[in-house]
A and B are shown apart, each in its own frame.
Chain A
């Protein structure tokens, strides 16, 4: 799995490529929490276009990020969910809890 960040206006985009499972979900968690807590990023937009497999530990990392964002009154937004990633969020009934958009343009517009 590869994870990188970039700025897009006032938002920080986190690009994730590869599978998110027990092995590398801690890295996802670390990046999200670091951006929110240490860098105080007001808007974090997670690009999941390149993620074809995500398990419950990956979902847990996103949930932790969302909880921290709410505590800090920041925002965490997801976009580019593959059908498979969407399935996991639906199976865990968390699809309604996250802000989810189809593409980066929509996500960044919503993040303004």
Chain B
């Protein structure tokens, strides 16, 4: 699946719906699908907020590929290069209002890689079925 999405926060739900369906199609559980959506949502939010400084007139790509046992997600944008110091995890459990997105992505996904290539940001995330997060209790 390949989507080109505007950097309009109102439309993030469209991507989430698509990712949700794809995750279920390849056999992820409801709980896993939710956490995948959560991580993708955080990554897309970071593109809008940081790569494009909140501008809503830009676009980015979400590419989703099936892997044996899971899914690979690629997010590609032409915004500002990410400050990799921001990727460092911050102390959690404190009353702060930011810095959680990167942590959530790292907690949920089995592999996360960022690179800057051809003046684009490439964020690759892999989620395998039945790994890492224990299921959300019902």
Contact = CB atoms under 8 A, between A and B. Distances in A.
B45 A91 contact: no
Given A21-B12, A53-B37, A84-B34, A93 B92 contact: yes
B95 interface: yes
A64 B49 CA distance: 19
Scoring B34, B35, B103 by chain A CB atoms within 10 A of each residue's CB, the highest score goes to B34
Interface in A70-112: 83-84, 86-88, 91-94, 96-97
B97 A64 contact: yes
Interface of B: 9-10, 12-13, 16, 31, 34-35, 37-38, 41-42, 45, 48-49, 92-93, 95-98, 100-101, 103-104, 107-108, 136-138
A96 B92 CA distance: 11
Interface residues of A, number: 25
B9 A23 contact: yes
Contact of B104 (A22, A53, A56, A86): A56
Contacts of A92: 92-93, 100, 103-104
Contacts of B137: 83
Contact of B48 (A22, A53, A96): A22
B95 A66 contact: yes
Contact of B97 (A63, A91, A93): A63
B36 to A, nearest CB: 12
Interface of A: 19, 21-23, 53, 55-57, 59-60, 63-64, 66-67, 83-84, 86-88, 91-94, 96-97
A55 B44 CA distance: 11
B42 A55 contact: yes
A32 B99 CA distance: 21
A26 B62 CA distance: 25
Contacts of A94: 92-93
Contacts of A86: 136
A25 to B, nearest CB: 9
